[in-house]
Structure 1
Amino acid sequence: MANNSSHPAALYKLRKVTRISALVILLLVVVGFFMPADYRVERSVVINAPRDVVYQDILQGDRLPDWMFVQDGKVASFGGVLGKGDSVALVYDKTADQGLLSVIESSESVIRFDVRPKPKVNLVHNKIVLQENEGSTVVKWTIEGNLSAGLLSPYLAMFANNIAGSNFERSLQKLKEQVELLH
């Protein structure tokens, strides 16, 4: 009979845990409605080369695909140099979907481009600022966007700096190595 008396206590504990879990989930959903789904990520690197040399390499067709990291894909190869109004495809290893990188502005001091990683995915606004600094160049890359992943969007935006930041650090390091090796 001792076993029968422990069932109500176990059920009561299970009910209590279930209710607390439901309240925590409900609280997270409600808080998520009031959090922004916008994100901003910024990284920089110093490249030991003059600004005009760095600028020439950044959007060049035989070099851009080598330094710009694209998760599970790459920038499509192309000839020439991308300029204002030009676009290039982003191709992926495991899907036929393609993204698009479109140059909005291009000068020796500022490069702006938008990336649509895949169809029906929000645009990611990119800005690369090139600042000369005693024979070297500080390259500062900033991305901004808005996530539309439902209830998870605000929480993903909160961690975007960590999630995307490592990809940009990898890209900037590859750009640095590439420019310094070639010049």
Structure 2
Amino acid sequence: MFTKIILALVLIVGIVFVVAAFQPKDFRVARSTTIEAPAGTVFDQVNDFHKWETWSPWAKLDPQMKQTFEGPASGTGSSYAWAGNNQVGEGRMTILESRPGELVKIKLEFIKPFAATNTAEFTFKPEGNKTAVDWTMLGEKNLISKAFGLVMNMDKMIGGDFEKGLADLKRVSEAAAKTPQP
């Protein structure tokens, strides 16, 4: 009887991994919003990791999170590392490409709770006195993450966080656009 149970479990696990192997190797999560502020104002909030605390959905999850900034204050080459509780984990972001008012491309390296390297992109498109903002995360899935994806959808897992972050980015950017600049 015990042997049959073990064989059944092995068969189920085998089937899960076979099905997982045929899943797409890439994932993409994207959210968009329109912000009533110039593209340069919105871009400045994203291009400087020091400013993320005011709008990032993860910054609020662990007030005791350790943060380290390296490289230039903003733009290409600047990096931000964090280590926090189970909700935020540990990782590092580095800006790979920065085009003022157009694009911020980030290498996103997760260490904990799981190791992964992904790309995040923010694009900014002026629409009169407003800016259309797209936040996208792209990555590849290994066999384990493909199997995990059979029960947990990456879009559902972090899409809501992107929506919260974009809502806060909108609030912060619109306030900055209304503040007179020296």
Task: Please classify the TM superposition score into its range, dividing by the shorter chain length.
Answer: 0.7 to 0.9
Contact between 1:59 and 1:81, CA under 8 Å: does it hold in 2? Answer: no
Following superposition, the deviation at residue 22 of structure 1 comes to 6.7
More strand by share: 2
Aligned residues: 166
Give the SS at the match of 2:20: helix
RMSD after superposition? 3.2
Partner Cα separation in structure 2 for residue 104 and residue 156 of structure 1 = 29
1:63 to 51, 62, 66: 51
Runs (4+) of structure 1 moved beyond 3 Å?
17-26, 71-75, 77-81, 155-158
If you compute each CA radius of gyration, which structure gives the higher value, 1 or 2?
1
Cα-to-partner distance string for 1:125-173 (whole Å, 9 max, x where unaligned): 011110011210010011111234x54x114446111111111111111
Partner Cα separation in structure 1 for residue 29 and residue 98 of structure 2 = 20
Aligned counterpart, 1:5: none
Contact between 2:106 and 2:120, CA under 8 Å: does it hold in 1? Answer: yes
More helix by share: 1
Give the SS at the match of 1:117: strand
Instruction: Name the % identity.
Output: 22
The reply on whether 1:45 has 2:4 as its aligned counterpart is no
Contact between 1:37 and 1:147, CA under 8 Å: does it hold in 2? Answer: yes
33-42 or 99-108, larger mean C-alpha shift: 33-42
TM-score (norm 1): 0.74
Aligned counterpart, 2:74: 82
Aligned counterpart, 2:123: 129
Following superposition, the deviation at residue 62 of structure 1 comes to 4.1
Partner Cα separation in structure 2 for residue 51 and residue 75 of structure 1 = 30
Aligned counterpart, 2:168: 174
- 5+ residue gaps, structure 1, are 1-10
